[in-house]
Amino acid sequence: MHKSVLSLALAAFALGGCSLIPDYQQPPADVAAQWPQGPAYATNEATSNNTSELSWQQFFRDPAMQQLIATALQHNLDLRVAALNIEAYRAQYQIQRADLLPAVNANGSGSRQRLPAESSSTGAAQINSQYSATMGISAYELDLFGRLHSLSEQALQTYFASEQARRATHISLIASVANAYLNWQADQALLQLTSETLQAFEQSHQLTVRSNQVGIASALELSQSRTSVESARVRQAQYQRLVAQDRNALTTLLGTGLPANLAVSQPLASQLLSEMPAGLPSDLLHRRPDILAAEHALLAANANIGAARAAFFPSISLTANAGSLSPDLAGLFNSGSGTWLFQPQINLPIFNAGSLQASLDYSKIQKDIRVAQYQQSIQTAFQEVADGLAARHTYQQQLQAQRDLVSANQDYYRLAERRYLVGVDSSLTFLIAQRSLFSAQQGLIVERLAQLSSEVNLYKALGGGWSDVSQQSTAKPRG
């Protein structure tokens, strides 16, 4: 009995045949072979292609930032949802893959029935018994034209796309935590600067008040001095609010509270980030997980075309079993009690009002959409990297110019203060110097934040940040 059922299963599996999935051709990238050139770009951007090998632990050098990123990777809810989506698509693939093999079932049943005399053919009360034990396959579809293989391939590529989507979420989370941390640090620096400036403005205002009382400073100078004090107080309240909101945003990204033993933060002016190479535009095709996810989605759509094509052809399903049947439980497995059933069924589509053709047209349109989305993801990646390279070079120049501006304003402030104290200039000149220095120092913090954020975004655009998971090869899930 077992050998006959096994033979039926193997014969059915051997009949699984061809695939109608179209041959896959990777769409052209339609991007330049080199990064843009010009005054906004450095001359040696494409020096290497190992950005993805630079882990986030190597790129982010601030200990506090490293600690926060590690916490987010462990507790962030978006990353947890992405991981659960992978498990869901893995299960869907395994369900679809199971249809390729016949399901073998074993069944046992028994029944006893009493018939009254008036219902019995013998005219006397009668008890009928029947017992059976069978093993076989039920409604197994022979995959003659690859419909089931196409659906299995579609599920597999969707699973691969979900894995790349998780890696994209991984990279985005790292960049988001880093940017949130930098914003928090910058606003704290701005709050400290504003508090120190407010104290300096208040001291200057007291000098102006005394000068006004003795007739040296005018009412206009007194009013302008008070305006500077109140403006600084407005700024102080603003940055206090921003610091609190930055902390709340960072906590949400972490998925838990800030670590109680958070490491001491390094100043914004220190070397918080490592240098990284840009590589070549073609490197993005195998580096950025969003591009890889788009290509797997395209492959899934391509497999759906094969399933839609196979639906035009006849489908054959088999039901077969073998076992034993006996009116007595004791004689269920005796010689001569064997029974078997072989029941093939063919389904030939004749008229369906164009439904099959519409399904095929729909699958082809879906593939065209995926092609466009794949090419769009490449072009978007190219733009993000090109923008980041332009920002890298120009921010370096802009930041140096801002440092020079702060230095010039510090000299201006010291000269104005000295001339005011000895009575050469009025308090108005000194007040203007104070305001100018405060504005330049604020600008330096803002420009440094923008420069660091652009470096973080460039690291993300280049596909860095998942070297700890990139070593895992894209392989079929087990089971």
* Distance in angstroms between the alpha carbons of the first and the last residue of the chain: 28
Longest CA pairwise span in the chain (Å): 137
E-strand stretches of 333-394: 338-347
Give per-residue burial for 57-89: e unless 16+ CB within 10 Å, then b: eebbebebbbbbbbbbbeebebbeebeebbeeb
Residue 12: the pLDDT is: 45
What is the per-residue pLDDT for 475?
A: 59
Query: Which residue, chain included where needed, has tokens 């302008």?
Result: 224
Segments making up each domain of the chain, as ranges: 22-101+153-313+358-470
Task: Write out the H or E segment, with its range, that includes residue 385.
Answer: helix 355-421
> 25 exposed, middle or buried (CB, 10 Å; 0-12, 13-18, 19+)?
exposed
> Which CATH number describes the domain made up of 22-101+153-313+358-470?
1.20.1600.10
pLDDT of 313-341, one tens digit each? 988 888 888 888 877 777 777 777 788 88
For residue 259, CA distances in Å to 86, 188, 213, 243, 320 come to 29, 18, 53, 17, 63
The C-alpha angle 172, 176, 178, rounded to 5 degrees, equals 120
Give 248's pLDDT tier (boundaries 50, 70, 90): very high
Q: Which of 461, 429, 377 lies closest to 27, judged by CA?
A: 377
Q: What digits encode the pLDDT tens for the residues 373-429? A: 999 999 999 999 999 999 988 998 999 999 999 999 999 999 988 887 887 777 788
The 8-class DSSP code of residue 344 comes to E
- Residue-wise pLDDT tens digits, 108-167: 887 877 777 776 667 677 777 787 888 888 888 888 888 999 999 999 999 999 999 999
pTM, to two decimals? 0.84
Average pLDDT over all residues of the chain = 85
